[in-house]
Structure 1
Amino acid sequence: MAQMTPASSAPAALDPCGALETLFAPRSVAVIGASENPEKWGYWLASGALAGRDRRSVHLVNRRGGGLRGVPFLPSLAEIPGPAEHVVVAVPPGQVRRIVVEGLAAGARCFTVITSGGATADEERELAGLITGHGARLLGPNCMGVVDTRGELLLSWGDFPTGGVGLVSQSGNLALEIGRLLSRAGQGFSRFVSLGNQRDIDAADAVEALITHEPTHIIAAYIEDFRDGRRLLRALTAARQAGKPVLLLTVGRSEASGRAAASHTGALVSARATVAAACGEAGALLLESAGELVDTALALLSPALPAGPRVAVAGDSGGQGALAADALAVRGLTVPPLPPMVSDALAAHLPPGAVPANPVDLAGAGESDLGNYARVAGALLLGGGTDAVVLTGYFGDYATANPAQTERECAVAREMADAVRISGRPLVVHTMARDTPALTVLRKHGIPVHEHIEHASAALANALRWTKLASRPAVELPDPAGDVVLDGGYEATRALLRAYGLAFPEAAFVTTADEAARSARRIGYPLVLKAMGLAHKTEAGGVALDLREEGALRTAFARMRSATGAAGYAVESMTRPPHAVELIAGVRRDPAFGPVAMAGIGGVTAELLGDTALALAPLTHDAARALLLSLRHAPLLTGWRGAPAIDLDAATAALTALVRAAVEHPELSELEVNPLLVHPGGAVALDAHGVLGT
């Protein structure tokens, strides 16, 4: 926590990858564009800055004069006594550069530029270069500011409750939504960084700063532009290794947010799928909404985390218990039978005739004695046989109808919290009550409380995901490189992949029917004829299979030339090994994350089935094997309904070779084999396609 100390008269250079101390803990702050008008951004920035003036010197600048809360506005930065380490800029766009120049002269080491609009991308980059060239840093432009709640640094608009969540966001309003949801649940922020246009300080910088920030226990992020994805990936991995879960939101689930591509790989590897693969590599949790993010954060901030998927459910009615069990099952959790000792312990607290099974139907036990909630929850938490407990129903609402029960209901809540602490197992409460004293007690002790059972189930499942990710070893991903140029055509792509060890059928490349016939006599029938230069040959009539004699070959050639107009053709040996499975394997170069490997069920149904798995390239042998076995149709590879298993080692070797070729040839934005025919005797590529980057 920064203390008031004499400031240096000259700016000190900042390490561009450092902890950004002058962003979060400056010794002095200057707000340029301060205002007395609550309708202006300058008012809220000035008010927030003044809230921390016991910790740092605060200067308010407005050339028109005025003042706020007894602090007069200075006419310019030049009038500030001593350096202003952190300068917050909220002036019209045309004045920003002048303010930056004045700030640098005044010793500024960090600029937070709230101003949006009026500047081109080139002008913003030039501004960032001016700032970083003087050893300072830039947050923004077009950002909502920065907050450190423990350090009483409030350089933004809005309410930011104090808590254990550090938020990095490209959306200001989303941050406000997350803040309100956290506040309702008795939680809040440690730090908040609004990234804006990321001309200097980016998401990776902000995440790195949160990793070393002791009050931050959870890192949340909303990111649209990933910039250097591999650098961000390393930051996310470092957070996981430090024991700090990263909860990530992004866009890209809709078809409109993707882009069309010339190959199957382009259609199957979406932007969001790439981010999901990156999160899988780093051990971050990719979530879908602000609500899910907050629910998951609450679960991860609770006193205990689930060690496995087994959940005990106790409800005020059979219906609520059954629905809870279904909601948990949807999320991959189980509601198993209880051990006999636990069932016996429960029976002592339930009405006669109630069955002490999982889910547990309290059958009025809570109404007859509120203490039974704690007794049942305690029996389930302490008895063993399950990894977590969900209490669903009415608890927390008794005092609403009868205020005389307030003290007793709160005492029961404390007893349940004690059982969680003693057992080391999590308790999640779903209730129809809202913001009652008993729920406040639960939240104070870190027990998550939810209004919807599906939210409780999702949060518990995400907490289990994190416990599995937290112990996983880190995988080092080298940055790809290479300098060989290809033309992307089938013949050259085929030759490239053969050089990396992929097997292809014997083939010849021809331009006329006579050449095709001569090549066929050398290769031998049956044959395949393919038109060159087509990304989707089958749909365009560019593939003819199982040609068994010259007449059929010439007929197919004439028909194909008429349909496609192709100038070149491939004549290949027809390969039909028994018990074969068609796979698709590809690599697409993402602008932020670099090469992304994809494996899936292939052939003409690749896009229809959509059974694919992604990972950031390059791939080790073990990673490639795991990728293949993660497919929904993986049983086809390991032996389905009595069929022999394919040669998984050969399939894995083919996938790793393809990925290595793509990594070492960055001039290819996409590289694909479809189908890759895998069978008990090996693996053979039947078609290949490359796309040159632009």
Structure 2
Amino acid sequence: MTGPDQPPDALFDPASVAVVGASAQPGKWGYWLAKGALTGRGRRQVHLVNRRGGSLDGVPFRAGLAGLACEHVVVAVPPAQVRPVVTEGLAAGARCFTVITSGGEPAEERALAREVTARGARLLGPNCMGLVDTSSELRLSWGEFPAGAVGLVSQSGNLALEIGRLLGRAGQGFSRFVSLGNQRDIDAAEALETLVGHAPTRVLAAYVEDFRDGRRLAGVLAAAHAAGKPVLLLTVGRSPAAAGAAASHTGALVSSYDTVAAVCRDSGALLLESAGELVDTALCLLATRGWPTDGAAPRVAVVGDSGGQGALAADAFAVRAVPVPELSADVARRLAEALPPGAGCRNPVDLAGAGEADLGSYARVTQTLLDSGEADVVALTGYFGDYASADPQRTAHECAVAGALADAAARTGRPLLVHTMARDTPALAVLRERGTPVYERIEQAAAALSGAARLAAAAPADPPSLPRPAPPAADGGYETVRALLATRGLAFPRAEFVTDAEEAVAVARRVGFPVVLKAMGLAHKTEAGGVALALADADAVRAALARMRASTGAARYAVEAMAAPAHAHELIVGVRHDPAFGPVALAGIGGLTAELHPDTGLALAPLTPARARALLLGLRHAPLLTGWRGAPAVDLEAAATALCVIADVAAAHTEFTELEVNPLLVHPGGALALDAHAVVRGV
């Protein structure tokens, strides 16, 4: 835990709880907190505190905390009273505080947290919605939280209520819920960490806006995956932000949302877009047993009582990279024996009216597919669950078939997903009670299975350790950054730095024509007219420098050898320091259109050679690097090494908020940096 070494029992299963600000008036927070606390009084002591007196459900309100033994204090009083209540609770020996009320200004909240943690206690909030642990009968929040196997950590109370309602309708619920509030002590990483070892929790879910210590959170995500606890994450920030003020191309291309997505990819978590998608995926994961561990996507067999729905279902899975393989002749023959003539038996399987004539056909076909070994998942799509709506006399039979379907999935250890046009019928209730996911739309089932498959195939790693900070650089200009990178082995063209035209001509003669002239002190040199290429003689150098001085006002210039290796491609490589995650490396296809048609990959820096290589091979245009249409491949090892050098230097120089090499020219003979600069913090 991030604060004092305190076991989580006092937070999630205390021996005693006090609700300060308890109320007997429904609709008030104090009423719901007190009512919820009283549901666990068979397991723990519950004290209700309100200085005005009163009672709730026969439990009298106490005037204060003095003289009470209370491990966990819930604070729901006006902001001005929060600090005195906490001080009184500490004196009474409280070990945890859940502060529902806002703690005042940020400085006041930080002071509150210091007071709590200095006494060896812990603080959840302030400004949170409380917490619930259904396994320990602890309900200290407003709203309904059905019991189940999903552990949720959230910075949004209403979103938690929405997720709870969706889970409840699907026959699932929460093992534990933690509302983070302003995270003055217990943060998202710590709250999620408590769920990793929590046996009733089988799926972890989180909504996080402020990641605080992002690297620690990444480590918790990787640990959860290693423990067999999949993590589903929601965050904000997909809307594009204006990049006009960015100090580098990297600054324009690296968003906080993209950083979170990269962290999830590398830590084995799944970044999703909505509460509904989170619940859909959680249901699929909870139904998952014994999938392939070789990283292959699960094979799905589709069963439909309509040819059109079956075909659309097959497409929905296939376009989400979930294979729908053709079934063998032997399996097709066994299916044909149970179906009418002309039924489709090769995947998707079309019942061709068999289900209407005999509901048992659904179970027999599904059992055959689950037993076949040719499908890891069976998806049933269409009308099942709705027959009793039209003919109530079929209710018992349809429920029995639903039970047989669930039995087959449990016996084989292979999940069954059901998509149906029915809603809340007795047969669907049987499926949900037995842990079979039921979806209203086929795309929900397909997206959930695709997400679960990506999690199963993930190979997470702990976030990289940060190097010891290097002595600060003098500035972030090309001359300085080039020297830092060259010292670490990154190759640059031969160059010298000058202040006037005659110096430039003399250097050009030493370097050898043609040369490149660059104006120093500019981030976006090309846009500002600060770069001149292929200068073939002294007059061209003089003319170019005169134009640059007039357009940019630069006082210093670089004269470089012109580099144009055959079969070269431009990359952009950069690192941006994220407030939560630290240095984040970017590698992508470079050139003038890098921001117009971004093709990039991100990862926490520093990089390993394997991670750098994976970033390059994960680009959409990676075939350009590996030999497109007969062209020779670039030296990927040299390119990966260059990425590592750039990431290492940026990670060590904490004074740089951004560092960029653009372009990095990669070719069959190696990698060559043609430009570099950094943005210095505070400048």
After superposition, the CA RMSD in angstroms is: 1.6
Which position in structure 1 is the counterpart of 2:660?
672
Name the CA distance, whole Å, in 1 between partners of 2:413 and 2:457: 17
Identical pairs, percent = 68
Distance 1:373 1:259 in 2: 58
Q: Which runs of 5+ in 1 are unaligned?
A: 1-12
Could you tell me how far apart the structure 1 residues matched to 2:463 and 2:22 are? 47
The answer to whether residue 516 in structure 2 is matched with residue 528 in structure 1 is yes
Q: Which amino acid aligns with 1:105?
A: A
Q: Structure 1 residues 303, 548: closer, same or farther in 2, change over 3 A?
A: closer
What does residue 477 of structure 1 align with?
464
Find the aligned partners of 2:132 and 2:491 in 1 and give their Cα distance: 57
Q: Is contact 2:266–2:460 with CA below 8 Å preserved after alignment?
A: no
Mapping of residues 227-626 of structure 1, within 5 Å: 227-256=212-241, 260-304=245-289, 306-307=291-292, 308-469=297-458, 472=459, 474-475=461-462, 477-486=464-473, 487-626=475-614
- Measured in 2, the distance between the counterparts of 1:204 and 1:530 equals 46
Measured at CA, do residues 520 and 259 of structure 1 come closer, stay the same or move farther in structure 2, by a change above 3 Å? closer
Q: Deviations over 1:415-434 (max 9, x none)?
A: 21222223332211110011
Equivalent of residue 628 in structure 1, options 616, 623, 638: 616
Q: Secondary structure at the match of 2:595?
A: helix
Question: What residue identity is the alignment partner of 1:479?
Answer: L
Q: Under a length normalisation based on structure 2, what TM-score does the superposition of the two structures give?
A: 0.97
Q: List runs of 5+ in structure 2 lacking aligned partners.
A: none
* 1:283 Cα deviation after fit: 0.9
Choose the corresponding residue for 1:141, options 95, 105, 126: 126
Conservation of the 8 A alpha-carbon contact between 2:65 and 2:92: yes
Secondary structure at the aligned position of 1:690 is classed as strand
Question: Which secondary structure does the structure 2 equivalent of 1:605 belong to?
Answer: coil
Alignment of 1:68 onto 2:53: no
Q: 1:607 aligns to what SS in structure 2?
A: coil
CA deviation map 1:351-384 (0-9, x unaligned): 2122322212222111111111112212222223
Aligned to 1:9: none
Indicate if the aligned counterparts of 1:483 and 1:667 stay in contact, CA closer than 8 A: no
Cα distance between partner residues in 2 of 1:422 and 1:188: 24
For 2:497 and 2:2, how far apart are their aligned partners in 1? 60
- Structure 1 runs (4+) deviating above 4 angstroms are 257-260
Cα deviation, residue 479, structure 1? 3.0
Change (3 A) 1:305 1:176: farther
Q: Deviations over 1:109-150 (max 9, x none)?
A: 111100026x11111000000011111111000000011112
Q: Supply the AA of the counterpart residue of 1:228.
A: D
Q: 1:473 to 1:170 in 2, by over 3 A?
A: closer
The separation in 1 between residues aligned to 2:448 and 2:283, in whole angstroms, is 8
1:583 alignment partner, SS class: strand
Post-superposition shift, 1:305? 5.7
* Separation in structure 2 between the aligned mates of residue 464 and residue 399 of structure 1, nearest angstrom: 34
The amino acid of 1:433's aligned partner reads: A
Distance 1:310 1:607 in 2: 38
Structure-2 separation of matches of 1:155 and 1:416: 38
**Structure 1 position 92, deviation (Å):** 0.6
| CA distance in structure 1 between the aligned counterparts of 2:244 and 2:351, rounded to whole angstroms | 53
How far off its partner does 1:387 sit?
2.4
Paired position in structure 2 for 1:10:
none
Describe the shift of the 1:56–1:667 C-alpha distance in structure 2 as closer, same or farther (beyond 3 A): same
Letter in 1 for 2:88: E
Alignment deviations for residues 526-574 of structure 1 (CA, whole Å, 9 cap, x no partner): 1111111111111121111111112222222222222222222211111
- In the alignment, the residues of structure 2 paired with residue 421 and residue 156 of structure 1 have an alpha-carbon distance, to the nearest angstrom, of 35
Note if 1:151 corresponds to 2:136.
Answer: yes
Matches within 5 A, 1:45-56: 45-56=33-44
- Secondary structure of the equivalent of 1:608? coil
Q: Which residue of 2 aligns with 1:4?
A: none
TM (normalized to structure 1)? Answer: 0.95
State the one-letter code of the partner of 1:547: L
Q: Secondary structure at the match of 1:660?
A: helix
Aligned to 1:3: none
Note if 1:99 corresponds to 2:88.
Answer: no
Q: CA 1:425/1:248 → structure 2, altered by over 3 Å: closer, same or farther?
A: same
| Kept in 2: contact 1:303–1:446 (CA 8 A) | no
Deviations 1:619-659 (A, max 9, x none): 11111111111111111111000000101111111111111
Counterpart residue type for residue 536 of structure 2 = R
Conservation of the 8 A alpha-carbon contact between 1:14 and 1:136: no
What residue in structure 2 maps to residue 31 of structure 1?
19
- Secondary structure of 2:548's counterpart equals helix
Q: What number of residue pairs does the alignment pair up?
A: 677
Give distance in 1, aligned partners of 2:33 and 2:365: 51
- Distance in 1 (CA, whole Å) between partners of 2:552 and 2:340 is 78
Query: What is the rounded CA distance, in whole Å, between the counterparts of 1:661 and 1:692 in structure 2?
Result: 14
SS where residue 278 of structure 1 aligns? helix
1:221/1:476 CA distance change after superposition, 3 Å: closer
AA partner of residue 465 (structure 2): P
How far 1:64 moved relative to its partner? 0.9
Aligned equivalent of 1:655, options 623, 640, 643 = 643
